[in-house]
Chains A and B, each alone.
Chain A
Amino acid sequence: MLTILLDGVAYGMLLFVLASGLSVTLGLMNFINLAHGAFAMVGGYVTALLMNRAGAPFLLTLPAAFLIPAILGVALERTLYRRLYGASPLDQVLFTIGLVLMAMPIAAYLIGDEPQQVHLPAWLSGRIEVHGVGIGVYRLFIILVCGIIAAALQTFLVKTRFGAQLRAAVDDARVAQGLGINVDRIFAVAFAVGSGLAGLGGALAADVVGGIDPSFPVKFLVTFLIVVTVGGSNGIMGALFGSLLLGVLDVAGKYYVPSIGAFIIYAVMVVTLIVRPQGLFARGDGR
């Protein structure tokens, strides 16, 4: 029972890191970035290729899995994304889906269609058992790392000056600009953080989902969107609670009622959209 709960929390945390970047771009910057999964794929590839081809140790690849997608994110933000900040949601959707459709064949061409596996070091594999409750070491590791990320992100956005500036810039870019906030720079940094988090999520997820392949960006697109829908898109905490709720329900559902377990997250989404369209954990007005 507790094993299932812990598994669910670990899965939820993983969903959180994968989707948290999206709640930065979608929730804070109001930009519908469906290409989010492509950045996650890049992060996963960075880790898998550094490990398999260059022999780098797993932990050392993680900063790279954050940085490379972040740099890529800034480059794309400066050249492409910024043109669409004020555009209609449909334009943003079309543009980012286009990016996904380009990212997948590029990955297939450069790296190949076969999934690239991440082979965890010995100290991260295996399982520990305490009072009959077993949990995989790697799942515990995911819970820890993701917990730290969630806390850091929340502090970053709520407590720091940068966070306040970002929120101001999103609320009213012109006034923020007038007050001397460099909106351009703020957006670029926020976008980089969002992309980097996606990359890190991809790297951490690679082992659990059976390797990274070119279809990764679409495979998890729906899941990302469900997390943001259920959690509410404005704020990191919404995404965190949404992810945890979905993770636990998904794992428990598959365990207790395997025949319908896979559909539970969709049911949760449908109910959420009917009862609280702004998201379960969003502030009342839904902005």
Chain B
Amino acid sequence: MISRFSLLAAALGAALLAASARADDNTVTIGMILPMTGPQASTGKQERAGAELYIQQHGDTVAGKKIALVVKDDASAADVTKRLAEELIGNDHAAVLMGFGLTPLALAAAPVATEAKVPEIVTAAATAMITEKSPYIVRTSFTLPQASAPMAEWALKNGIKKVVTIVADYGPGVDAEKWFSDTFEKGGGTVAEKIRVPLKNPDFAPFLQRVKDDAPDAVFVFVPSGQGAVFMKEFVERGLDKAGIKLIGTGDVTDDDLLADIGDSALGAVTAHHYSADHDSPENKAFVAAFEKANNGMRPNFMAVGGYDGMALVYQALEKTKGDASGDALLAAMKGMSWMSPRGPVSIDPETREIVQNIYVRKVEKKDGALYNVEFATIPDVKDPYKAAKH
């Protein structure tokens, strides 16, 4: 019995070894963990489409290696994210982990990435401190301070003196509130009130009534992109626009993917963000056209471009290492990498592994019958102010 069992085990071990050796030889597996189901499913859909488009455009071979993209659904549950990260590294021999729809999900995978020395490219989640949680985390999305601080500067320069902030009460919301109000107050503005609304409370009516009675020049808002529609609707229905209160915020509230659904109540909202499908550059025009063609006319949003650039980063890093897919080599190649993205010029800050990019101030306008975030001012090469303040 014993000998038969050990024989079996040995055979199994040999088979596994052979399998792993085969996988390691010429294929570089990229494990993408995204919420493909549940309330964040639109994030997953956009991210995946962005990453796949990059492979489709640039071929699935780079520096002699075949790229295999494996997408796993964590349905926004952090424990699942962690398990999937372990499986992707252990079973699929993933050389890179990518995706992460929400901050807690990115954090759940951080210890796994550190232990396995595998780069974790965050292409969606946006709380500033994420990249500090593992030396292997690199980000291609954005950070909320990166978008919120420029919004405050724009407001100061444009006659807005008194602001009320409304943010969803969780990591990114707190980030947005802190960086907007700190910058705004430092510049001489007044933040009359800081309102935090529960993340799972979609009824903004009483909060907006309070804002209306405060009568500020503008209300600064951050809500996760899915809640933009209900917020905007209530903003207009309650007559805040007619009371002369401007709506400003980070681009999450006027997400390209949802803008059509929000409808005309979004008109006139001014937001600061790193990407708009309307961005005027040949790279973006080509990107939007190819993306819409590959996805039944779905308009790319900032999530799609995060996934697209995540893949761009891996391709360029592999070229630089001449196909060496070991974690430390890839990470070293990614640091300081700069390229032209559909959103404009971007680079990876070698010290913080954080993306450096232009932040655009945009206004929702109607173009050819469809709503777009039309960019009208650019703040070039914005580093994440949270980490800049520390260094």
A residues lining the B interface (CB < 8 Å): 3-4, 7, 11, 108, 112-115, 117, 119, 125-127, 134, 136, 138, 207-211, 213, 215, 219, 250-255, 258-259, 261-262
Q: A209-B202, A262-B198 are in contact. Are A113 and B237 (CB under 8 A)?
A: no
Q: Are A126 and B201 in contact (CB under 8 A)?
A: no
Q: Are B263 and A259 in contact (CB under 8 A)?
A: no
Q: Which residues in window 274-328 of B have CB below 8 A to A?
A: none
Q: Bound state CA distance, A39 and B87, in angstroms?
A: 38
Q: Bound state CA distance, A119 and B197, in angstroms?
A: 24
Q: Are A113 and B42 in contact (CB under 8 A)?
A: yes
Q: Are B263 and A262 in contact (CB under 8 A)?
A: no
- Of B42, B210, B230, B263, the residue contacting A210 (CB under 8 A) is B230
Q: A4-B209, A113-B37, A252-B206 are in contact. Are A210 and B229 (CB under 8 A)?
A: yes
Q: Are A258 and B207 in contact (CB under 8 A)?
A: yes
Q: Are A7 and B230 in contact (CB under 8 A)?
A: no
Q: Does B38 contact A (CB under 8 A)?
A: yes
Residues of B within 8 A of A210 (CB): 202, 226-227, 229-230
Q: Bound state CA distance, A125 and B265, in angstroms?
A: 11
Q: A209-B202, A210-B230, A219-B200 are in contact. Are A114 and B209 (CB under 8 A)?
A: no
Residues of B within 8 A of A138 (CB): 237
Q: Does B267 contact A (CB under 8 A)?
A: no
Q: Does B215 contact A (CB under 8 A)?
A: no
Q: Does B192 contact A (CB under 8 A)?
A: no
| Nearest CB of A to B383, in Å | 33
Q: A210-B229, A259-B196 are in contact. Are A136 and B209 (CB under 8 A)?
A: no
Q: A7-B206, A113-B42 are in contact. Are A258 and B195 (CB under 8 A)?
A: yes
- Of B37, B200, B205, B207, the residue contacting A108 (CB under 8 A) is B37
Q: How large is the interface on B (under 10, 10 to 19, 20 to 34, 35 or more residues)?
A: 20 to 34
Q: Bound state CA distance, A114 and B261, in angstroms?
A: 11
With both beta carbons as reference points, the residue of chain B lying nearest to A261 in the complex is identified as B206
Chain B 241-267 interface mask (CB, 8 Å, partner A; 1/0): 000000000000000000001010000
With both beta carbons as reference points, the residue of chain B lying nearest to A10 in the complex is identified as B205
Q: Bound state CA distance, A138 and B205, in angstroms?
A: 13
Residues of A within 8 A of B237 (CB): 125-127, 136, 138
Q: Does B80 contact A (CB under 8 A)?
A: no
Q: Which residues in window 174-230 of B have CB below 8 A to A?
A: 195-198, 200-203, 205-207, 209-210, 226-227, 229-230
Q: Bound state CA distance, A95 and B41, in angstroms?
A: 28
Q: A108-B37, A114-B41, A115-B226 are in contact. Are A134 and B239 (CB under 8 A)?
A: yes
Residues of B within 8 A of A255 (CB): 206-207, 209-210
Q: Are A262 and B201 in contact (CB under 8 A)?
A: yes
With both beta carbons as reference points, the residue of chain A lying nearest to B193 in the complex is identified as A258
- Of B38, B201, B205, B263, the residue contacting A215 (CB under 8 A) is B38
| Nearest CB of A to B334, in Å | 32
With both beta carbons as reference points, the residue of chain B lying nearest to A208 in the complex is identified as B203
| Nearest CB of B to A179, in Å | 47
| Nearest CB of A to B198, in Å | 4
Q: Bound state CA distance, A258 and B230, in angstroms?
A: 18
Q: Bound state CA distance, A261 and B206, in angstroms?
A: 10
Q: Are B226 and A136 in contact (CB under 8 A)?
A: no
Q: Bound state CA distance, A138 and B230, in angstroms?
A: 14
Q: Are B206 and A209 in contact (CB under 8 A)?
A: no
With both beta carbons as reference points, the residue of chain A lying nearest to B42 in the complex is identified as A114
